[in-house]
Amino acid sequence: MKKVLWFVLGFALVLIVGGAFLLGCLPNPQASDATPPPAISTPEATPASAPTTAPALASLAWRRDGAAGCSGLRVDDLSQLHLVPCEGDAALMRFSQEELHTYLGYVARYAPFAFQEDPSPENDMSTVTLTFVGRGTREATIEEQAEMADWAAAVHARIQAEAQRNTMIATARAALAERLNIVPDVITTVAVESVTWPDACLGLPETGSACAEVETPGYRIILRVGNDTYTYHTDLDGLVRLGVSQEPSPTPTQTVATTPTPTASPTTTPSPTATATATASPTATPVPTWTPAPAPTDHWRAEYYANHQLLGIPAVVARENSVNHTWGYGAPSGVPEDHFSARWTRRIHFEDGQYDFRLEADDGVRLWVGGMLIIDRWSGGHRVDFVSQKHIPAGEHDVVVEYFELEGYAKIDLGWNKIYIPPTPAPEPIITDWRGEYYNNTTLEGPPALITNEVDLQFEWGEGSPHPAIQRDRFSARYARRLHFSRGEYRLTAVVDDGVRVWIDGRLVIDAWQTGIRRAYTHVLTLDGSHDL
């Protein structure tokens, strides 16, 4: 029994020693000197493979929310200005030149940011938010962000007032159109004036009706249909009331008109009609008249008036090279920013023909050429581009432009161009022999200037040309015909000055497309049957 026990213990000891020996021979994966596995290299992105980020599109969004309601503005990626109400669609508006210049400066200078101003007494307890995306790299400070928000608020106030004014004008025009059972397009807006009415009845109390004596801001809008004038009183919220309906005076020269009344055609050198101002005394005091010199031929004579009626003596008379002005919300030197007028006169030579006359104006404008009224838009409103096509006989004609500005944006731009009417092409001749096509170029390009039927191809033009419609030099021609040949060998000869090419059935057989003196070119070939030359 002891022998068996010692045998088992000895065998176990052998197994333990042998196992330890085998483990010592195997590599230890945790050893510090073990060889690391090969690293997998990851290629670095090169500039060519790096994604390119497109430049951000500039934009601005401003909004005010409060107890008085909400409204805002937006400038899109095309730098177009929009008025954004709480409800309804956004309205496209216009930057003034100064506003656009300021905005583009912001875009170039500042990086994108978001700004919020919490309610406070300074902002009428409203929350103001501004989201700006610029292309600059400078981070705007809190003060600079607030400054931009204040700028956006000022722009918003201006365009909101402009939109409100336009809405009230449209409401008054619609009311008059309904009253007279006419379409609004025949109504002329003569003048629009911002006023503060003494009461809620807009200064037009009704018998038997109570009227709150509270100051009410609004407009006095003067409209005209034919020779009749209508004055509407409005508030800012859609209320319009007809105040005055004035019949045309039988003696208009004794009445101060709200705006100059258009005439069928002015005199060669138009001037304001002498008028008289009614006074308390029985004797009217005549207004001084202005008699301009004859129309100049080398410049425009510009006459600027400190009223929108072309009345009295001009405040400024100037020499100008063109009738092209963008005053924005300003005005010419020497006249007020609003309610001014102007007249430009010049004597110009015209060739006989049809002309496109274009006038872009804000507000009213008229154009005469040689006493003929070409464009007549004597009314206030947004900038409008007018185009009129008229025939002008040859000679010198007086060109007269009259313009007035009521309120807001001011601009005028005059231009014209002669319309080229190509002559009616002559009917194409009947081709029985060679079809000849002549071109006023050396490349056979474009439609032919002349098509003829040529009996044969033997020409000696000398120093002349094939036809009065073709120039003497640098012209080209193409001749084509289908001919029948009996089977045989033929010698084809072309004598030319300068270049020539000859095809038979689309195959080029003579190629001498070059300048040079008179030379003969030949080609021998076998023909049989009908062939295209």
pLDDT for 215 equals: 85
H helices of 122-233, in order, are 142-180
3-state secondary structure string across 497-510: CCCEEEEECCEEEE
Residues of the chain with pLDDT under 50: 1-2, 4-5, 21-55, 246-290
pLDDT for 7 equals: 54
pTM of the model: 0.39
User: Which of these, 359, 356, 323, 345, lies nearest to 398 by C-alpha position?
Assistant: 345
pLDDT tens for 132-143 read 999 899 999 999
pLDDT tens for 51-60 read 444 445 789 9
List Cβ neighbours of 191 (8 Å cut-off, separation of 6 or more). Answer: 220, 221, 222, 258, 259, 308, 380, 406
Nearest 5°: the CA angle 173, 176, 180 is: 140
Domains in the chain, ordered, with CATH?
59-163 (no CATH), 187-250 (no CATH), 262-276+287-418 (2.60.120.260), 434-532 (no CATH)
3-state secondary structure of 271: coil
pLDDT for 277 equals: 39
Query: Contact 69/127 with Cβ under 8 angstroms?
Result: no
Give dist(CA 145, CA 134) in Å, integer: 12
Torsion angle in degrees (nearest 10) through CA of 59, 65, 70, 76? 0
pLDDT for 364 equals: 87
pLDDT for 423 equals: 64
In terms of phi and psi (left: phi > 0; alpha: psi -120 to 50; beta: otherwise), the region of 520 is beta
